[in-house]
Amino acid sequence: MVTATAMDGQQVQDAGIDLDWLTRKIEYRNFQECIHCGLCTASCPTYVETGNENDSPRGRIYLMRAVTDGRLGMGPHVRRHLELCLDCRACESACPSGVRYGTLIEPFKIALQKDAPAGAKASLLQRMILHHLFPYAGRVKTALAPARLFQKLGLLDLAEKSGMTRLLPPTLRRMMAMLPRLSGARPRLPEVLPPIGPKRARVALFLGCVADAMYPETNAATARVLQQNGCEVMVPRSQVCCGAIHYHSGVEQPAIALARRNMTAFDPDRLDAIIVNAAGCGAMLKEYPHMLPAAEHDQAARFVAKVKDISEFLVALGPVAPEHPVPLKVAYHDACHLCHAQQIRSQPRQLLAMIPGLELVPLEESELCCGAAGTYNLTQPEMSERLGRRKMDHIEATGASVVAAGNVGCILQIARKIKERRSTIEVVHPVDLLDRAYQGKQA
């Protein structure tokens, strides 16, 4: 019998990855928490698609442990199965044993990125985006300016129709396809917005870089909804990108630097809450204590205590009932970073259910990742595409005219699918609908 020793009784000579660093980053106990029951498997989007245990959470934990134990080297297969992980954390929601999968895969992703063979390293474009573009919302906006002009002039459609976009490198092409209809550049939100009615809370709004560049209306809507609910809304100018895209792409240092800047930009002692409307950013901000060195944990914990998703905050505050009907049939998609990373499921639905005339219909597999997952659609286009298709099929099957999702990544991904299928479905953030119900304006 082969028992739990090295495969064929041999330890591999070449780990193929920086094991010293990994063993310092990962507590071995975290592996042992996995009792190999397999209850997580069918909740994992990649396993549901491929049916291959290597693409399941249990399988990935097994692979990572085998590499750590010296039973396997980090060869191209193992690498591929780990890189295919969306980091959506559906497995953490499913696991009864409380395995903290993120504490395993994240160090591995960082180590993989460091040791990537030349061709597999983050491309120049990716690196440029990660290091130079995302920290600065303004720069994202500027970078999008040519695209916006293109769209205005109808050139993008022309380029698409004429097949010109096919000449672009694939990554750029996918980015183009992801672009929503961009509205003209908007004036920035003022630094302080007064509450409407008696003041109930003092909050700060976290804008997010991609979100603010692509969907500035949603940030404006979020601010208005907060004002309607009696909040004084601060919009600190010195805030920067949350660092999620860096961190999840395995680029750790810039992520830490960004965290420190945000912790200075928002003073938790002077705020009742730090409001986030993009689930990916919210999940990242809440993770700061794990990312930072122990000496900064206290400060990070005070910051995190105030970070709230907009829906989480409003439901806890007791939302003011909106009066204008929004007579739409709406399906709600659970963004991974809301439902799995932050365990927020009922609050967005509660808010939507408050809107007069709105019919909320159930969406099949609403908690299965749509395939956006940060930069995943750029790095793993094929799987991203399969999951996007699966999501869109379910959305279309609901017969809803609107699909709501609490994360900019999901909104972009679904918008792209809608565009591809020439569907008339509209994708929005739940706050957009809430805003309409407060303001009484139709889309």
Partner 1 sequence: MSATAAVSATTPLASRLLAELTAIVGAGNVLHQRDELLVYECDGYVVNKKVPDVVVFPTCTEHVVELVKLCNRHDVPYVPRGAGTSLSGGTLAVGGGVMICLTRMKRILEINTRDRYAIVEPGVVNVWLTRALAGTGFHYAPDPSSQTACTIGGNTATNSGGPHTLKYGVTVNHVKGVELVLPDASVVTIGGITDDPPGYDLTGLVVGSEGTFGVVTKVIVDLTRDPEAGRTLLAVFDTVEAATETVSGIIAAGIVPAALEMLDNLMIQAVEQAFGFGFPTAAGAILIIEVDGIDAGLDREAQLISEIVQSRGGRVQKSITWRTRKEPEYVAIWKSRKSAFGAVGRLSPTFCTQDGVVPRTLLPHIMRFIEGVARRYDIRIANVFHAGDGNIHPILLFDERDGEQVQRVLHASREILEECIRVGGSVTGEHGIGVEKMALMPRLFAPEDLAAMIAIRNALNPEGRCSPSKLLPSGGHCIERKSPGRRASA
Given ligand FAD, partner 1, ligand SF4, none, residue 87, with its beta carbon under 5 to 8 Å by kind, binds ligand SF4
With binding defined as CB under 8 A, does residue 68 bind partner 1?
Answer: no
Q: Give the strand pairing for 273-276 and 201-206.
A: parallel
Q: Which is nearer to ligand SF4, 38 or 170 (CB)?
A: 38
Asked if residue 347 binds partner 1 (CB under 8 A), the reply is no
CB atoms within 10 A of CB 52: 12
Distance CA 369, CA 307 (A): 23
CA–CA separation, 54 and 63 (whole Å): 8
Q: Which of 39, 116, 159, 256 binds ligand FAD (CB under 6 A)?
A: 39
| 305 interacts with, out of ligand FAD, partner 1, ligand SF4, none, CB within 5 to 8 A per kind | none
Toward partner 1, which CB reaches closer, 119 or 198? 119
Answer yes or no whether residue 391 interacts with ligand SF4 by CB under 6 A: no
Residue 37 interacts with ligand SF4 (CB under 6 A): yes or no: yes
* For ligand SF4, the closer CB: 97 or 343: 97
Q: Give the tokens for residue 10.
A: 């041999």
Residues β-bridged to residue 205 = 275
**Least distance CB 54 / ligand SF4 (angstroms):** 11
Structure token pair of residue 202: 């003092």
Position 423, amino acid: S
Rounded alpha-carbon distances, angstroms, from residue 230 to 13, 79, 130, 390:
63, 50, 37, 40
Closest CA to 73 of 1, 28, 10, 5: 10
145 binds partner 1 (CB under 8 A): no
How many alpha carbons lie under 13 Å from residue 374 in its C-beta half-sphere? 24
When asked if residue 4 is in the footprint of partner 1 (CB under 8 A), the reply is yes
At residue 233, φ and ψ (nearest 5 deg) are -115, 120
Residue 9 touches partner 1, criterion: CB under 8 A? no
Q: Out of 17, 26, 64, 88, point to the residue binding ligand SF4 (CB under 6 A).
A: 88
Among ligand FAD, partner 1, ligand SF4, none, what binds residue 63 when CB lies within 5 to 8 Å by partner kind? Answer: partner 1
Pairing of strands 402-405, 359-361: unpaired
Among 22, 26, 58, 89, binds partner 1 (CB under 8 A): 58
38 makes contact with ligand FAD (CB under 6 A) = yes
Contacts of residue 2, Cβ cutoff 8 Å, sequence gap at least 6: 8
DSSP state of 20: H
The residue from 15, 16, 31, 60 that contacts ligand SF4 (CB under 6 A) is: 60
Selected from 22, 26, 40, 241, the binder of partner 1 by CB under 8 A is 40
Cα separation, 88 vs 390, whole angstroms: 16
Binds 237: which of partner 1, ligand FAD, ligand SF4, none (CB < 5-8 Å by kind): none
Stretch that binds partner 1, among 9-17, 255-263, 366-374, 400-408 (CB under 8 A): 9-17
- Output the CA torsion sign for 8, 13, 18, 19: positive
Distances (CA, A) of 108 to 23, 307, 383: 10, 27, 20
Cβ 22 to partner 1, closest distance in Å? 16
| DSSP 8-class letter at 129 | I
Nearest to 336 by CA among 87, 98, 102, 46: 87
With CB under 5 to 8 Å by kind, the binding choice for 318 among partner 1, ligand FAD, ligand SF4, none is none
- Rounded CA separation 110/142 (Å): 29
**Binding mask of the shown chain, residues 99 to 118, with x at each position contacting ligand SF4 by CB under 6 A:** x-x-----------------
Integer Cα distance of 414 and 247 in angstroms: 23
Catalog residues that contact partner 1 under the rule CB under 8 A. 1-4, 7-8, 10, 12-14, 16, 29, 32-33, 35-43, 51-54, 58-59, 62-63, 66, 71-75, 77-78, 81, 94-98, 346, 364
Catalog residues that contact ligand SF4 under the rule CB under 6 A. 34-40, 44-46, 57-58, 60-61, 85-91, 94-95, 97, 99, 101
Catalog residues that contact ligand FAD under the rule CB under 6 A. 37-39
